Chains A and B, each alone.
Chain A
């Protein structure tokens, strides 16, 4: 890509309140395209809230107000001409607990295609191709190719979480948001998801919220440290862990609080 270093996500002066509680305070950041960026910080510091801003996922909750700017690929997502549906097509999200829909594996993967296309534009063969390629991308194809019609909710958690990533891919998202994607998984599952993230990075911009600093260190190229709704430090991961610029970051990564 020629525009390698242009920011994929950019915020300026972003404030967010739950009722009268300020959850994000003047957050300004730039997240580079094609990388894995980790959001770290203690519980309640606004990591997940910030992540949900990028697909306007906070709007489901009634008492949220937001000011400031969020630009995704240069476009302010609060502009009136931005379609929420298109935004969510290009910004996919993976949740803490794997949440496959109570449908078959196949239907989970093509769910996105089905809701965004008219039925007659969506041939069976196109759907089958999409399922195979998405499942191959998340290393599930070999395991599930003979079980495409079992209920997704009956799979192992690790497979469920991979499936939740796979179902984003047919929509060709630019960005994948991951909200502690491994917190429900064991060590093996965590490792599998992390391997998957490496293989997806480059093609997609990945932003991951994690409580696990070792994980942030393993998977991310850049790291954002947040505290009480403020962005404290944004550095390349290696630098943030070896030479934190801010004393609060240093204290957090040394485990003095968190």
Chain B
């Protein structure tokens, strides 16, 4: 009897420790990743010409005469593709979530959710492939532009990749709104749409905001698909039909060629630190906004 109890206590303690480890490991990994990225890039940090780094569009990391590390064009590339992707993905994603959660008959809802999850499971290189072989000729044909690998292509591909994330998180957020709110609004004679925009959207705004920001995070951090779909030209875009290159694509494309521990190699890690900071800021802003809304 007491032996059994001892084992039970021991199991309890072990499980507790294991679960605690799982929780703490996330923190360890985040710091670990930051540490290693930082370690590779840090000794360039004091030597870097920050004015050039942030304001020059000249990215010539392997120039014989004078290497120039200006990432303005890369920032513009990341920014333009992300903004376009969000312009497309946020309305579509939230609209789809509202439809699936509030308007769709239950049977179709299940089918739709399975398909949306399937969409989320497509590897990014496959999306890149679609950008390269389907979207590229389509854009050339439809808009009569010389090249279809551009902001538009990357934006659409990224939007398609972010939509399933936005839909599933936004749908969860809407599902979490107590049914009594719907009941109350409908009993007062509200239509379904009035119930959605007057009651459910405000009630679910924290979750909806989280959905949108996770979509943004996905779009900023995505590499492979944008590498293949945006044309890889270091250039500040003036229209959606311009080719661009993003921060992530630059790191992915040049990392293999840069000699280890050269300045070129280090500057790629500095870009890594920058990306890390950007996504951290997006998450922080999200967190603070959500908190701010909650306290109101």
Give the B-binding residues of A (Cβ under 8 A): 55, 57, 60, 62, 84-89, 92-93, 95, 97, 99-103, 111-112, 114-116, 164, 167-168, 171
Contacts and interface: CB of A to CB of B under 8 A. Distances in A.
Contact of A115 (B183, B188, B203): B188
A111 B180 contact: no
Contacts of A102: 181, 199, 202-203
Contacts of A86: 189
Interface of B: 105-106, 178, 180-191, 194, 198-199, 202-203
Nearest to B181: A101
Contacts of B182: 60
A85 B189 contact: yes
A150 to B, nearest CB: 11
Contact of B188 (A60, A62, A103, A111): A111
A103 B184 CA distance: 12
B98 to A, nearest CB: 17
A90 B183 CA distance: 16
A167 B189 CA distance: 12
Given A85-B189, A86-B189, A100 B184 contact: yes
Given A103-B202, A115-B194, A57 B188 contact: no
A106 to B, nearest CB: 14
Interface centre among B188, B191, B203 (most CB of A within 10 A): B188
A117 B112 CA distance: 35
A6 B187 CA distance: 25
A171 B190 CA distance: 12
20 contacts: A57-B187, A60-B183, A60-B186, A62-B106, A85-B189, A85-B191, A88-B186, A88-B187, A95-B183, A99-B178, A99-B180, A99-B181, A99-B183, A102-B181, A102-B199, A115-B185, A115-B190, A115-B191, A115-B194, A168-B188
Given A102-B203, A103-B202, 16 more contacts: A57-B183, A62-B106, A85-B190, A88-B187, A89-B189, A92-B187, A92-B188, A93-B187, A101-B184, A101-B185, A111-B188, A115-B188, A115-B191, A115-B194, A116-B189, A164-B184
Given A62-B106, A115-B194, A115-B198, A99 B189 contact: no
Contacts of A101: 181, 184-185, 199
Contacts of A85: 189-191
B103 to A, nearest CB: 13
B44 to A, nearest CB: 51
B188 A88 contact: yes
B60 to A, nearest CB: 56
Contacts of A88: 186-189
A216 to B, nearest CB: 23
Interface centre among A62, A87, A92, A115 (most CB of B within 10 A): A115
Contacts of A84: 189
Contacts of A116: 189
B269 to A, nearest CB: 46
A71 B30 CA distance: 65
B198 A111 contact: yes
A102 B199 CA distance: 7
Nearest to B178: A99
Contacts of B105: 62
Give the top 3 A-B pairs by smallest Cβ distance, nearest first: A88-B189, A99-B180, A93-B187
A211 B187 CA distance: 22
A95 B198 contact: no
Nearest to B177: A102
